[in-house]
Amino acid sequence: MAGVAGQLVFLLLLSPGVFAQEWRFYGGDAGGTRFSALQQINRNNVGRLKRAWTYHMGEIDRGGNETDRHHVAPFESTPLMVDGVLYFSTPSNRVIALKAETGKEIWQFDPQAGHSGQRQFFQHRGVSYWQNRNGEDRRILFGTFDGRLIALDAKNGKPCRNFGKDGTVDLRAGVADAFPGREYSVTSPPAIYQDLVITGAAVPEYPSKGPSGSVRAFDVRTGKLVWTFRTIPQPGEAGHETWQEDAWKDRTGANVWSIMSVDSEHGLVFLPVGSASYDFYGADRKGMDLFSNSLVALDAATGKPRWYFQMVHHDIWDYDMPAQPVLITLRRDGREIPAVAQVTKMGFVFILDRLTGKPLFPVEERNVPESNVPGEAAWPTQPFPLRPAPLVRQSFSEADVSDVTKESHQYCTELAHSLQTRGMFTPYGLELTLVMPGTLGGGNWSGASFDRASGYLFVNANELGAVGAMQPQAADAPERYRRGSNDGEYARFWDDNQWPCQKPPWGTLNAVDVNNGEIVWKVPLGSVDELKGKTGTPNLGGSIVTAGGLVFIGATIDSRFRAFEANTGKQLWVADLEANAHATPMTYIGEKTGKQFVVIAAGGGGYFRGKVSDTLAAFALPEK
């Protein structure tokens, strides 16, 4: 395996600024800051930004129908740009390469080619890039819904035959052998550290037994397994004592379905670990359930744990760690501290020392409500960071009922009166319960972007509750209780229009100063055209920040793409899109034209109604 010294030599061989003009990682860099040093497009001229090219990836019909768009797979991919080529994935797992300046297709690879049966669609957030020191071997690595890890030659899109078996590693082997029919899907780009490709996966949220959520590293050249980290510790491993009796056996969940971050300098990989299954009932897993709902730092070369910080104990709310950890630098008392920021569904942002996992702002363990569900033992306390303040409302009272229309107020008042709630971390009860924020609330996989110069962390958040009751199941069911409601297992606290039942804003963009933990500004994100005022909207999809003083973000359910002034939160530009952009944008410089482009996927679908499209849209400044 090439050492750190070799990597540094390789970096020096590249002309300075080459990385600044590209977008080589999902998060802009390995640490997920989503920062670009480009400033050709800036706060003074962004108002002139125009569509430069449009690419249609050809997957408009991908499930669902006109009346029910809930089942349409969203187009969540963020392209990479390396050496003048864009690489991205589609909702059917195809990988496509385009010329970065024109959007003209170079190649595409279809992992479903030759498969019988109906074409499958699912969310997929992108691919990863690796190259050797002299740049002769360049690979695109990505995972599939059916649990394969595939390496492609970046030049032509052909499988790298020396990787695994003919370019493919079967990721199900060793983690899903006993559960051949259960989900094991890779929906996020894997992490790259030196010559390792590190993978997590999406696994079942119900029932509690199923494929393992272990994280594994493979040799990027051969596909051979190098290390495994068990997110649910086995007997003799640290953390095993947090599982009562045999609760750890065959337990699914506690997986990394989102995006990992890498600190190459310190040789660390950061894992945002999700909930243990079943998500809403933990009677068969009493205890804190490590390392579920934790940020875990591993030695990237060996997979050995360095530290962990659990952000939810014994999760019964589906409060996964949903977002890529952001590797930030915090200034305090004249010194710089390497830190990591983790965005959560609870609306908290935890800021920890990157090397030790110690909180850099005080965190209190506070008493939270008990569960009234037979057999359940909610953990008595949960961690509350004192700074930054929560980005969203975490409780609800009658005074909060939405009054955007008379009909909405009436509907939401009746719904609110039918619900029980006891504040933050209220467990779903035997009666219909309101949980604030819900599973789509707070900060989601949208994550955050970070500007080191200002110390601002930009986070978009949802103000959206969830509704459900724990319903007894048949004697032969895998779980004794399961969350349900008249609107299904994942009911939201919204009206017939999908307008949240509390007063706006329903979605916000926030700037947090990581140096002092203060929220510097907060603005509504998105608008509902039928309503007056700045409502904000529910949103999924992240932001990027540039040295031009701009924060770019789609995410909203109004099919628009926006640019905000990074210092103030003032909206400077907005463009209409073919559909909602539930994806994170990216930016780069075109080699021939020298133009800065900003690109975003606008596909609609996912959890929200509305138009569906197959658009990848690029924007640039027009010729003078």
* In the block, residue with structure tokens 């864009």: 86
Residue 238 burial by CB count (10 A; 0-12/13-18/19+): exposed, middle or buried?
exposed
Q: Compute the distance between CA of residue 53 and CA of residue 361 in angstroms, rounded to an integer.
A: 45
Rounded to the nearest 5 degrees, what angle is found at the Cα of 596, between the Cα atoms of 591 and 600?
A: 110
Whether 384 maps to a domain, the answer reads: yes
Q: Note the pTM of the prediction, 2 decimals.
A: 0.96
Structurally, the chain folds into a number of domains equal to: 1
Count the helix, strand and coil residues of the chain and give each as a percent rounded to the nearest 5.
Answer: 5, 35, 60
CATH of the domain at 110: 2.140.10.10
Q: How far apart are the first and last CA of the chain?
A: 49
Provide the percentage of residues in the chain whose pLDDT is more than 70. 96
User: Would you say 322 and 437 are in contact if contact means Cβ atoms under 8 Å apart?
Assistant: no
Q: What is the pLDDT of residue 508?
A: 98
376 lies in a domain? yes
Catalytic residues: 318
| Assigned token pair, 98 | 């385009």
Using alpha carbons, select from 489, 449, 456, 496 the residue that is nearest to residue 470.
489
For position 70, what pLDDT does the model report? 53
pLDDT number for residue 263 = 98
Task: Output the pLDDT for position 214.
Answer: 98
Non-local CB neighbours of 117 within 8 Å, separated by 6+ positions: none
Angle at 476 between CA 475 and CA 481, to 5 degrees: 60
Q: Which residues contact 157 (CB under 8 A, 6 or more apart)?
A: 95, 97, 106, 107, 108, 109, 140
Structure confidence at residue 19 (pLDDT): 78
Greatest pairwise CA separation for the chain in angstroms: 72
Q: Where are the beta strands (DSSP E) in 2-65?
A: 35-36, 50-56
Q: Which residue(s) pair with 211 in the sheet?
A: none
Find, among 473, 572, 616, the residue nearest to 55 by Cα: 616
| Contact between residue 26 and residue 80 where contact means Cβ atoms under 8 Å apart | yes
In a domain, 19, yes or no: no
Q: Which domain, by its residues, includes 437?
A: 4-14+24-620
**Residue 374 within any structural domain of the chain:** yes
Q: Mapping DSSP to helix (H, G, I), strand (E, B) and coil, where does residue 411 land?
A: helix
Q: Which residues pair with 170 in a beta bridge?
A: 148
* CA pair distance 322, 258, nearest whole angstrom: 6
Q: Which residues of the chain have pLDDT under 50?
A: 1-16, 65-69
> DSSP characters for 477-518?
SSSSEEEE-TT-TTEESB-TTS-BSBPSPSEEEEEEETTTTE
Q: Would you call 599 helix, strand, or coil by DSSP?
A: strand
**CA 378 – CA 314 distance, rounded (Å):** 7
pLDDT for the residue 17: 66
Q: Is residue 101 part of a domain?
A: yes
DSSP for 150-189, written as a single string:
EEEETTT--B-TTTTBTTEEETTTTTSTT-TTS--B--SP
Q: Are 530 and 542 in contact (CB under 8 A)?
A: no
- The angle at the Cα of 30, spanning 511 to 616, to the nearest 5 degrees, equals 75
Q: Is residue 547 part of a domain?
A: yes
Distance, CA of 120 to CA of 112 (rounded, Å): 8
Distance from C-alpha of 382 to C-alpha of 35, rounded to nearest angstrom: 32
What is the distance between the alpha carbons of residues 222 and 199, in angstroms, rounded to a whole number? 15
* 356 located within any domain: yes
Q: Is the dihedral of CA 333, 456, 34, 225 positive or negative?
A: positive
